[in-house]
Amino acid sequence: MQGKIALEEHFAYKAPDEDITRRLQHAESWIETSRRLMDFHDDRLRDMDEFGVEYAILSLNAPAVQAVLDPKEAAEDARRYNDFLAEEVARQPDRFGGFATLPMQDPEAAAEELTRCVKDLGFPGALVNGFTQRDVSDSVIYYDIPEYRPFWAAVAELDVPFYLHPRTIVRERAQPYDGHPWLYSSGWGFAVETSIHMLRLIGSCLFDEFPRLQVVLGHLGERIPFDMWRLDNRIARVPHGYPAKHPMSHYLRNNVHMTTSGNFSDPALRCTISEMGIDRLMFAIDYPMEVMNAGAEWFDGTPVLSEEERQIVGRTNAARLFKLERFL
């Protein structure tokens, strides 16, 4: 399919070497991934041309700003990264957009930076790499707590989507993965962290307060679609004070969108469409953590989608959600 819009495509401000000790067993592939993270206008564009990706909204690699402990430093870093991305997007505005990086250590600063990115830089939304750390290395702060309500009010007022992207659990809290490093990050841990974060947002009544707020999850929903019926059933039977007005599936189907990033599976795609509906699904690759041809060729050929549905998922839904009128 030509004309795809891709939504979880990453860049790095400088060589992302902080994780290399965890990747030594695949050092050569990580070096190549690192190189591609810093490339905007050469291999990335050639791959997009070859595999039918017309437009990509770019985002900073994880965990980036979310791992900065000092709130002031995080705010300065976010501004610098966003200005850098805006400069790169301006070189190819017909091919690239940008997701805002936000200093979630300080909700007020995050709201201010998002406002600047949307109004001054023209970014169509934000992508945040999961929970944030602040002040001490073993801190884990999720955005359902009351201090973030003014931030979410700003997101709702700006009427832009918020992409909740995974990150690894902090090492001080990673005891369940002891002795099993293959589960620690993207193989399993990413989905665990992101799905619990999403369900916390729902359970905090966030979407009752801001019913138009829209959140995006990658990887075909971080395994949530498979358990939507069970979530509703068990919470209804054993509520434990569940405070939201509606079952979780209501908010998932009305306030959440999901992408195909890094999960090129026909059965998982069928499940996601069955639970969420075709209008809540969008195309993404997770480049360069995934190679572009794998995601694009799978999507172009999967028998799960009709050709009409391929256009809806590959282009139309993203154009509508992110107000990319020229692609409609």
CA nearest neighbour of 65 among 121, 118, 113, 122:
113
With contact defined as beta carbons under 8 Å apart, do 282 and 260 qualify?
Answer: yes
Q: Which amino acid makes up residue 291? A: V
Q: Give the CA distances from residue 96 to residues 31, 60, 166, 259, in Å, rounded to whole numbers and listed in that order.
A: 24, 13, 22, 18
Backbone angles phi, psi at 323, to 5 degrees: 55, 45
Told to judge if 159 belongs to the known catalytic residues of this protein, a careful annotator would answer: no
- Compute the distance between CA of residue 219 and CA of residue 244 in angstroms, rounded to an integer: 26
Both tokens of residue 48?
């997009």
Q: Give the CA distances from residue 199 to residues 193, 250, 274, in Å, rounded to whole numbers and listed in that order.
A: 10, 12, 19
Which residues share a beta bridge with 177?
none
Element (H, E) at 141: strand 136-141
Both tokens of residue 166?
């995974």
- Compute the distance between CA of residue 141 and CA of residue 104 in angstroms, rounded to an integer: 9
Question: Which of the following is catalytic: 144, 266, 286, 300?
Answer: 286
CA nearest neighbour of 218 among 170, 290, 146, 158:
290
Q: Which amino acid makes up residue 207? A: F
Catalytic residues: 286
